[in-house]
Amino acid sequence: MARAIKHKKKLFIFDLDGTLADVYTAIERSLNFTRNILGYSNVSYRVIKRGVGRGDRLFIEAFFEPEDTIRALRIFRKHHKESVMRYSRPMPFAKQLLRKLKERRKYVAIASNRPTVFTNRILRVLDIRKYIDYVLCADKAKRIKPYPDILINIIRRFKVSPEDTVYVGDMAIDLEAARRAKIDGVFVKGGSGVVKEARAYRKAIIVSSIREVLHIYE
């Protein structure tokens, strides 16, 4: 278990995919459906999982030829609206952590590179929207992670200091965004990220389970 830190936090910001929500099957179904429609072969679950986290536009560009990306994105998004409702699952201990944070009167926010419409669908189907005070996604910010814009805007909204804030994610881009925003970054294993990349951020905390977050900052 990660070490405890004396400085308690007021604002807990979370990434979504791979951190609070397991949406990889939904993404795999939507991507391969789109690829089949456009005459491409299937891509493995493992490869798809590693490609998640940088927003759906960049995700689609990685799996299609340039001339197909606009149509592919349109097909993918239409299919994905339904697949996230069917295949999304909470990551282990995510609900319990969110509930305990709210019991302790902490601010809780989501910072995701996903478009807002999909984020809200996932939060609703997982029944965790009631624990979230604020959601800010890539389509509402000028720049996506690893730029810190989303995180900085959330911090300003709650009028707390960077020292009172922590960002929890599953990829190196989450840690980079946290570093640029001058807030604590926590890397959770089991998502799309690689532990070796996370270890390059010496100030970051690496945990095996999201439930450790509460013990670190209690």
Residues 58 and 131 in one domain: no
Residues 93 and 83 in one domain: no
Residues 61 and 83 in one domain: yes
**Hey, what are 113's tokens?**
């590179």
pTM of the model: 0.94
Mean pLDDT of 76-93: 97
Residue 1 pLDDT > 90 = no
Residue 5 pLDDT > 80 = no
User: Which of 2-6, 168-172, 199-203 has the largest mean confidence?
Assistant: 168-172
Residues 60 and 142 in one domain: no
CB 164 within 8 A of CB 141: no
Residues 165 and 83 in one domain: no
Between the CA of residue 49 and those of 71, 132, 191, what are the distances in Å?
Answer: 22, 25, 8
User: Mean pLDDT of all residues in the chain?
Assistant: 95
Residues 17 and 100 in one domain: yes
Which of 87, 119, 138 is a domain's end point?
Answer: 87
Residues 79 and 93 in one domain: no
* Ordered alpha helix ranges (H), the chain: 24-37, 45-51, 56-61, 69-87, 94-103, 116-125, 149-158, 172-181, 195-198, 212-216
Domain membership of residue 16 (yes or no) is yes
Mean pLDDT of 98-115: 97
Domain membership of residue 107 (yes or no) is yes
Residues 45 and 114 in one domain: no
Q: Which residues constitute the domain of residue 186? A: 11-22+89-216
Residues 109 and 180 in one domain: yes
Mean pLDDT of 7-22: 95
Domain membership of residue 6 (yes or no) is no
Residues 63 and 136 in one domain: no
Q: How many domains does the chain have?
A: 2
**What is the CATH classification number for the domain harbouring 211?**
3.40.50.1000
H helix and E strand count, the chain: 10, 8
Q: From 133, 144, 87, 84, select the one nearest 110 (Cα to Cα).
A: 133
Mean pLDDT of 63-77: 98
**Hey, what are 165's tokens?**
């804030």
